[in-house]
């Protein structure tokens, strides 16, 4: 099973949109996918049409009350499951501040879970706090969505340093394996110029850490598409809301690239849901 954290501490770059629609694309291709929403904004949860009942359990209870993942996991489509978040998750940062081993609680819950999946995707919050650390210690890969404008590199060094520290101290197998460019506008030169800047940055940094020495820039660029912006308000992935749109085409192409990565790296197809 491939375990992937989708992370960027900068908001508005297409992180949740990519988490949801990549998960949906892989599920549509016949792979069992679990999406964990670790963002207190719960946008991935809402995007997939999941509404928690009053006193319903979420990832907050998984992290703070020893509730198993199976108790919160919801099937939203064939092959596609989500572990939902809600605003209470924001309180977990403070409540776990004095907890010993607070960075590996999610990893422990995953190891106790017996359900089998092909892909585990985690939608991380736009921060580098305890919730994000739990995601990074629970997965082997990181996908980094970037919007191609001149603020794309802002904070990138801090993010890479965090990934590197987690890899050295808490999760030695962690690797940055994919760069994904979102909200691209092919009618301007800005996107290609910024993408070149990012590629040059990583080329210069390749010798700095083995954690990102083999990072791949996906050939698929997610075009700016109004259908992608509309889909969350209907509680649907892009494949349910607008299956013939450019957004659906782009995320399906991305899913095929991710599967090509799997074939090249010879990841196992289905195992128990552990990191």
Q: Mind listing the pLDDT tens digit for each residue in 49-95?
A: 999 988 899 999 999 998 999 999 999 999 999 999 999 999 998 89
Predicted TM-score (pTM) of this structure = 0.92
Residues 48, 20: Cα–Cα separation, whole Å: 7
Contact in structure between 158 and 200 (CB atoms under 8 Å): no
CATH class for the domain made up of 2-268? alpha beta
Q: Mind listing the pLDDT tens digit for each residue in 205-218?
A: 666 678 888 888 99
Q: Mind listing the pLDDT tens digit for each residue in 99-150?
A: 889 999 999 999 999 999 999 999 999 888 999 999 999 999 999 999 887 7
Given a cut of 60, whether residue 270 has pLDDT beyond it is: no
Given a cut of 90, whether residue 11 has pLDDT beyond it is: no
Residues 153, 140: Cα–Cα separation, whole Å: 23
Given a cut of 70, whether residue 271 has pLDDT beyond it is: no
pLDDT of 208? 65
pLDDT of 205? 67
pLDDT of 66? 87
pLDDT of 133? 94
pLDDT of 187? 67
Contact in structure between 179 and 140 (CB atoms under 8 Å): no
Q: How far is CA 20 from CA 25, 42, 96, 150, 194, in A?
A: 9, 12, 27, 26, 25
Residues 150, 134: Cα–Cα separation, whole Å: 30
pLDDT of 272? 42
Nearest to 228 by CA among 21, 81, 82: 21
Of 153 and 223, which is predicted with more confidence? Answer: 223
Residues 218, 200: Cα–Cα separation, whole Å: 15
Residue with tokens 């064939």: 78
Q: Mind listing the pLDDT tens digit for each residue in 155-206?
A: 777 888 889 999 999 999 999 999 999 988 866 777 788 888 888 878 776 6
pLDDT of 269? 40
């Amino acid at each position: 099973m491939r375990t992937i954290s989708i992370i960027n501490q900068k908001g508005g770059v297409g992180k949740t949109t990519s988490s949801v629609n990549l998960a949906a694309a892989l599920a549509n291709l016949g792979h069992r996918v679990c999406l964990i929403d670790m963002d207190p904004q719960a946008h991935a949860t809402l995007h997939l049409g999941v509404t928690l009942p009053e006193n319903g359990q979420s990832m907050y209870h998984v992290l703070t009350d020893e509730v198993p993942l199976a108790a919160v996991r919801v099937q939203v489509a064939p092959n596609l499951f989500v572990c939902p978040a809600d605003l209470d998750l924001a309180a977990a940062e403070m409540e776990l501040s004095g907890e010993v081993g607070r960075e590996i609680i999610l990893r422990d819950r995953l190891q106790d879970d017996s359900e089998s999946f092909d892909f585990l995707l985690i939608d991380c919050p736009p921060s580098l706090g305890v919730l994000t650390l739990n995601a990074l210690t629970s997965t082997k890969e990181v996908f980094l969505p970037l919007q191609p404008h001149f603020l794309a590199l802002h904070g990138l060094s801090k993010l890479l340093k965090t990934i590197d520290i987690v890899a050295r101290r808490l999760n030695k197998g962690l690797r940055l394996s994919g760069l994904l460019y979102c909200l691209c506008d092919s009618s301007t030169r800005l996107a290609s110029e910024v993408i070149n800047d990012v590629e040059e940055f990583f080329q210069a940094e390749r010798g700095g850490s083995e954690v990102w020495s083999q990072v791949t820039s996906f050939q698929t660029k997610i075009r700016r598409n109004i259908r992608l912006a509309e889909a969350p308000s209907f509680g649907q992935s892009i494949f349910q809301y607008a299956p013939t749109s450019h957004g659906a085409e782009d995320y399906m192409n991305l899913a095929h690239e991710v599967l090509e990565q799997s074939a090249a790296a010879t990841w196992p197809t289905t195992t128990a849901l552990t990191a």
